[in-house]
Amino acid sequence: MLEKSSLAASNGIGTIDCDAPPRLLVVEDDTLYRMMICRVAANAGYVPAGAATCEEAVKLLQKNEFDCLTLDLSLGAHDGNELLLHLSASGCDAHIIIVSGCDDARRQESAAFAKSLGLRVWETIAKPVDLVVLRYWLERLKTEYVAAAAVAA
């Protein structure tokens, strides 16, 4: 039984716990959206955790490893790009799904910024969130993790 398998960087997955479902950090200041995203994630087979602020997200990231993050770009006193800088500085290997009410140009700019920092942006999704679309992307990402874990085993 494998506890952790370090996969080749070429597959873009990182480190996977073969026995556990993927972990998702939902960074969203709106409580209702945070709860909805966590519920969709749980139904898609993730273990979700939520953070309402950049500070909460940083604390959770220091104590836990996450396979994926959903990130709102408007987080009250802080901008989502500030968290992207922190993720890059800390060597975060998780995939990122930007879920934001910002216009498409702003979401794409933030995705490009994240990629320039070496982060893995999986998708950007506009608010109001189509929960079916969100679940589709989460399930597709989970399929990648499962496939990578099978190769590693």
Q: What's residue 18's pLDDT?
A: 58
The reported pLDDT for the residue numbered 17 is: 53
| Residue position matching structure tokens 């309402």 | 52
The pLDDT assigned to 119 comes to 97
| Ordered mean pLDDT values, 10 residues apiece, the chain (153 residues) | 28 51 95 96 96 95 95 88 95 94 94 96 94 94 81 75
Q: Mind giving me the DSSP string for 17-65? A: -TTSPPEEEEE-SSHHHHHHHHHHHHHTT-EEEEESSHHHHHHHHHH--
Whole-model pTM: value is 0.84
